[in-house]
A and B are shown apart, each in its own frame.
Chain A
Amino acid sequence: MIHFDNVTKVYPSQNRPALAHVNVAIEKGEFLFLVGPSGSGKSTFLRLILKEERPSQGHVHVAGKDLSRLSNWKVPHLRRRIGCVFQDFRLLPNKNVFENVAFALEVIGKPRRFIGKVVPEVVDLVGLEGKMHRMPDELSGGEQQRVAIARAFVNRPMILLADEPTGNIDPATSIGIMKVLDRINRTGTTVVMATHDAAIVDAFRKRVVELEDGRVVRDQSRGVYGQAY
């Protein structure tokens, strides 16, 4: 589903590469934790999958397509098949739960009847039944992140990227978020989650890829966060 083929990324103003000679293959339906300290290249890894950045060397393949050969006007179509969740939720404060989730479908031109049917299903899936008309500031952090996950998943993407989704949430609530991500993974969606949260990684026992200074130092199935941290 996602293949990193000897990928190096150097940002123009920096000497040290953000990623160096990374080879990772992620199969369809996998759940992968991307771990490592800040600045180890986790976010760059995710941005390369979205074609927000281009590799300086090497190739990134997503869903069988070489992103370096993907023309710019096709990038939106790539992103429709990838959902994204962030540490800071990125909800629209002037829209309620339904409208926030519906926004993702409206801007890709889906018909209103389809939106009216699909959005409540997804809102139920992430466990926010009955809160469709709440505004973001009336929700807890965990609930806001569920809205963000619903928005990322509402278009049924093949891949879900999560950049520290539990970074702003207390441990008890994080478990709930992880259960939602697990539920989404069980529908066949590939999930890549960058995280600092050792407890979660240790509890879930999924595949772990560890980055350090832009290099892959560990790629382990059913792994733990690691002793060093």
Chain B
Amino acid sequence: MRVQFVLQEIWIGLRRNMTMTISLVITVAIAMALFGTGLLLREQVRASKSFWYDKIEVSIFLCAKTSSNEACQKQDITEQQRQTLKGQLEKMPQVSNVEYESKQQAYTRFKDNFAGAPGFVESTKEGDIPDSFRVKLKNPEEYKAVAQAMLGQPGVDTVINEQEILKRFFRILNGLQVAALTIALIQVVAAVMLVGNTVRLSAFNRRRETGIMRLVGASNTYIQMPFILEGAIAGLIGGMFASILLMFSKTLLVDRLAGDVQLVSQLGWSTVVAVIVLSICFGVLLCAVASFLTLRRYLRI
């Protein structure tokens, strides 16, 4: 193999098909960027899920004088009722841990959480937040059984499941992921067809050369190599553009989501780099294989 000769042939091929090559590079770049974004979102959902599912609690707010629930009859929960509830909760198979939070503890936590908004804190008095049980579940999905058992019990005001809030957020992320991967798939199909056309044109442009190569006994790999590498190089350039787009989508989409929603654990650059490497490899492989398959139809050996 004469490397310089092969490279020269590839360059001639790419240059003769410049417009085709450019459209191929753009298509591959978009396909790979969307593919990578889909992967990043999936990674994000996975990371946030495991991060948040550890922290998810079901809060059972108990009756207080201020509660508006009729069942409470404007009465604080009695000590006896509280003990009964605690005993019941601890016996439930779905529950892994029960913690009692008094009005004072709740107020202190509230003050800590909203330390940045003094006006908000000042308008709230100790006692505005009722005391509660904070229940950790073995499996956050089994929240319904606990909620049903607790609602309506004497002394229970409301049951709030934090998972319901997260679910909406995850649904949005999942939707984005599905959308990105769907468009990526369509673009991949377009890229495969474009590679096919590019290689066909290239083979037609160089039919004289390949004809002579065949006659003088060049091996099949030698004849096919420039075409396959042509596809692979277009895939590589497309993949590099895609990696730039992916870095944008990391800083603009994923990080911004994290900043706005405060729910997302940060995705590290190492994940992004892994996704970029995967996307580039996928792009190169896709184009090379598509070239090879087209060649079998259009380049008689």
Contact = CB atoms under 8 A, between A and B. Distances in A.
Interface stretch (A27-35, A104-112, A204-212): A104-112
Contact of B209 (A73, A77, A92): A92
Nearest to B208: A92
Given A109-B1, A109-B2, A112-B2, A90 B211 contact: yes
Given A106-B2, A109-B2, A112-B2, A76 B212 contact: no
B226 to A, nearest CB: 10
B216 interface: yes
The secondary-structure label for the interface of chain A is helix
Given A103-B212, A104-B212, A106-B2, A78 B217 contact: yes
B222 interface: yes
Interface string A79-95: 11110100000101000
Nearest to A105: B216
Contacts of B145: none
A151 interface: yes
Contacts of B217: 76-82, 108, 155
Interface residues of B, number: 18
A73 B223 CA distance: 13
B216 to A, nearest CB: 4
Contacts of A77: 217
Nearest to B300: A52
Interface string B204-223: 00001101111111111011
Contacts of B301: 72
A118 B239 CA distance: 43
B168 to A, nearest CB: 61
Most buried by B among A72, A80, A109, A155: A109
A107 B211 CA distance: 12
B14 to A, nearest CB: 16
B5 interface: yes
Contacts of B219: 73, 76, 108
B222 A107 contact: yes
Interface residues of A, number: 24
In the complex, which of the residues B1, B5, B211, B215 has the most CB atoms of chain A within 10 Å of its own CB atom?
B215
B216 A151 contact: yes
The main secondary structure of chain B at its interface with chain A is helix
A11 to B, nearest CB: 16
B218 A108 contact: yes
Contacts of A107: 5, 212-213, 216, 218, 222-223
Given A106-B5, A107-B222, A109-B1, A79 B212 contact: no
B1 to A, nearest CB: 6
Interface string A110-142: 011000000000000000000000000000000
A111 to B, nearest CB: 8
Given A90-B211, A92-B208, A92-B209, A109 B216 contact: no
Contacts of B2: 106, 109, 111-112
Contacts of A109: 1-2, 222
Contacts of B208: 90, 92
Contacts of B216: 79-80, 84, 103-104, 107-108, 151-152, 155
B212 A73 contact: no
A84 B212 CA distance: 9
Interface string A55-80: 00000000000000000110011111
Contacts of B222: 107-109
Nearest to A77: B217
Contact of B220 (A76, A82, A84, A106): A76
Contacts of A152: 216
Interface of B: 1-2, 5, 208-209, 211-220, 222-223, 301
Given A79-B217, A151-B212, 13 more contacts: A50-B215, A78-B217, A79-B216, A80-B216, A80-B217, A82-B217, A90-B211, A107-B212, A107-B216, A109-B222, A111-B2, A112-B2, A155-B217
Interface of A: 50, 72-73, 76-82, 84, 90, 92, 103-104, 106-109, 111-112, 151-152, 155
